[in-house]
Amino acid sequence: MKKIVCFGDSNTYGYDPATGGRFDENTRWPKRLAKLLGDGYEIFEEGQNGRTIANDDPWEGGTKCGMDYVLPMLETKRPDLLIIMLGTNDLKLKFSLPAPDIAGSLQNMLMKIRGYCEHYLSCPDMKILIISPPALSEPFEESYFAPFFGGGDTVARSKELAAWYKLVAEQYGCFFLNATDKISAGDTDHLHLDPEGHAKLAELVKESVISVCGL
């Protein structure tokens, strides 16, 4: 079976903005992806609420840095395809990062992954699909999460990630899916996907896995 890891934050975990809980297996996009791909694929959900690319967040217990977890996770899963959709939490006010610097964090993560897979795991041909995360939606200032992300430029910064991620993906020989321009967060909290967004993302990823990644 082809093994695919979906590595992301709360929008990969399936955070339900209406309840604060988690969407069920019929709703969240990695599980929908598994059903769309069918037999022959094994999908691993590796989403975590609050996960960043490379920023340690002591206010969240110091356990949210994706850079700390991605390598041991790859060692245990050894996927054929690693899907990375991160960066939304790096927009938070506490980190004060513009889009190019968030893309720079992704660049550093890919550098570590490529080296680790080639020299330690002996799987230099593992495929990587970078997804630029869905844009935040307007009016974001009405969101419960708005105070954590800062002013009115937050939505604009979220939309800037796609262009920078595309450059980084090309630099490291990764496939790229621009979800930023195709999907926005739902209207409940303007940060997280609603069920329709999860369904649309699953369809987009399925198309990429088959037609772009050739898996």
| Span 18-31, pLDDT tens digits | 999 999 999 999 99
What is the average pLDDT across 34-38?
A: 97
List b or e across 67-90, with b for residues whose CB sees 16 or more CB atoms inside 10 angstroms.
beebbebbeebebbbbbbbbbbbb
Whether 150 and 106 have beta carbons less than 8 Å apart is answered as: no
Rounded to the nearest integer, the mean pLDDT of the chain is 95
What is residue 9's predicted lDDT score, i.e. its pLDDT?
98
Split at pLDDT 50, 70, 90, the class of 32 is very high
CA atoms of 176 and 166, how far apart (whole Å): 6
CA atoms of 74 and 71, how far apart (whole Å): 5
pLDDT digits (tens, 9 = 90+) for 113-166: 999 999 999 988 999 999 999 999 999 999 999 999 987 789 999 999 999 999
What is residue 212's predicted lDDT score, i.e. its pLDDT?
80
What is residue 61's predicted lDDT score, i.e. its pLDDT?
83
pLDDT digits (tens, 9 = 90+) for 167-213: 999 999 999 999 999 999 999 999 999 999 999 999 999 999 998 88
List b or e across 39-66, with b for residues whose CB sees 16 or more CB atoms inside 10 angstroms.
eebebbbbbbbbbbbbbebeeeeeebbb
pLDDT digits (tens, 9 = 90+) for 101-127: 999 999 999 999 999 999 999 988 999
What is residue 106's predicted lDDT score, i.e. its pLDDT?
98
Any idea where the domains of the chain sit in the sequence?
Answer: 2-212
The separation between CA 176 and the C-alpha centre of its own chain, rounded to angstroms, equals: 12
Q: Which CATH architecture has domain 2-212?
A: 3-Layer(aba) Sandwich (3.40)
Residue 214 has pLDDT above 90, yes or no: no
CA atoms of 20 and 16, how far apart (whole Å): 5
pLDDT digits (tens, 9 = 90+) for 48-103: 999 999 998 888 888 999 999 999 999 999 999 999 999 999 999 999 899 999 99
- Structure tokens given for 80: 């054929």
Encoded amino acid at 49, one letter? N
